[in-house]
Structure 1
Amino acid sequence: MKSEVNSGLTFRKAEKEDVGLVLYFIKELASYEKMLDQVVATEAGLTEWLFEKKTAEVIFAELNGVEIGFALFFHNFSTFLGQAGLYLEDLYVLPNYRGHGYGKAILTQLAKIAVKRGCGRLEWWCLDWNQPSIDFYLSLGAKAMDEWTVYRITGDTLLELAAS
């Protein structure tokens, strides 16, 4: 899946041999979000879940053959719409390439994938303090889902609930 977007920017789907690069982008994003200490992902785990079990997908934005950004996404499902959606887990553009429309190009590419697959929506979360990203998303016409609160169960709590 290689497609030309503008002046040297192309997209390609990550392959198994890209797992180190995927982890690199995950760590870069986590560092930007001041959450690097929370990254426990490994190349082996990413290989299993992304390329063997195929539970998520990754695309890279390449500028003249150099990876400058990535997006990790997967399908979810809306019972109200009665159709799948595309959930964007992570989007990251390297700092030197920000402000040139590459983030918008990545989201545009994801929108194209969603439409091609018949998805009813494209959605993601954004940290409350990340005002540059919030402003960017709003400029694209995205709507904040302020009436929803995210809940999460992980680690020992997840294990305890599963065992109950």
Structure 2
Amino acid sequence: MHSAYARVDLLPALPEQLPLIRRYLEQLATDEGVPQARGSDAFLMQTLFGRPPVAVAHLVQAQLVGEVAASFCGLAVHSWKWGTFSGVLDMYVHALVIAPSHRGQGLGKAVIAALFDIACAQGASRLELLTTAGNEAAAAFYDQQGLLEAKHMVVRRRACAGSPGRA
């Protein structure tokens, strides 16, 4: 696929961009069939911009071929996790969303490549993410990017009493 973009950048999100971050998270919730993106603005501020931040948010900015101005068109959120056996950090991607109007033009591929470059530059052993079971389009896309299913792993979880994510 030939990209329609002359330039794609991952820019560190700023606190004043929280409304834009929320819009992308709400889009992701819609895409995943989740009724709404939970988490107050205060929670997002603490998570993304607290000291220390729990996760790192990047806004995706792209410039179309032949255009002068670039525009925001997506969001990527990641954190670092301890590599139990590797002895180094791994990048865990929590969220990757591209605005519907910009999909199918190579942006997702460019964002994954940029995140992988960040992970490797920080000395990580790998980049990991979860996909929704049964989302064959996502599985195929990530397979094409070299993100293969870890068949030896199964996610297990137990919700805390009173947790808004409990279900």
Q: Name the TM-score class by shorter chain.
A: 0.7 to 0.9
Give the structure 2 partner of residue 47 of structure 1. 45
Partner of 2:67: none
Gaps of at least 5 residues in structure 1 are: 1-5, 159-164
Aligned: 1:31 with 2:30: yes
TM-score of the superposition, structure 2-length normalised? 0.85
Question: Is residue 152 of structure 2 the alignment partner of residue 154 of structure 1?
Answer: no
Name the SS of the counterpart of 1:58 in structure 2. strand
Q: Which SS does the other structure have where 2:161 is aligned?
A: helix
Q: Distance in 2 between matches of 1:78 and 1:32?
A: 30
C-alpha contact (below 8 Å) 1:23/1:41 kept by paired residues? no
After TM superposition, give the deviation of residue 56 of structure 1 in Å: 0.4
TM-score by length of 1: 0.86
Give distance in 1, aligned partners of 2:162 and 2:10.
39
Q: Give the corresponding residue for 1:76.
A: 81
Percent identity between the aligned chains?
Answer: 25
Change in 2 beyond 3 A, CA 1:50/1:115: same
Quick one: which amino acid aligns to residue 60 of structure 1? L
How far apart are the structure 1 equivalents of 2:129 and 2:143?
A: 13
3-state SS of the aligned residue for 1:45?
Answer: helix
Corresponding pairs, count: 152
Q: Write the deviation string for residues 91-125 of structure 1: whole angstroms up to 9, x where unpaired.
A: 01111111111001111110111111111110000
Higher helix share: 1
> For residue 44 of structure 1, what is the amino acid of its counterpart?
A
Deviating 4+ runs (over 4 angstroms): none
Residue among 138, 146, 167 paired with 1:141: 146
Q: Which amino acid aligns with 1:99?
A: G
Aligned residue in 2 for 1:61: 60
**For 2:84 and 2:38, how far apart are their aligned partners in 1?**
32
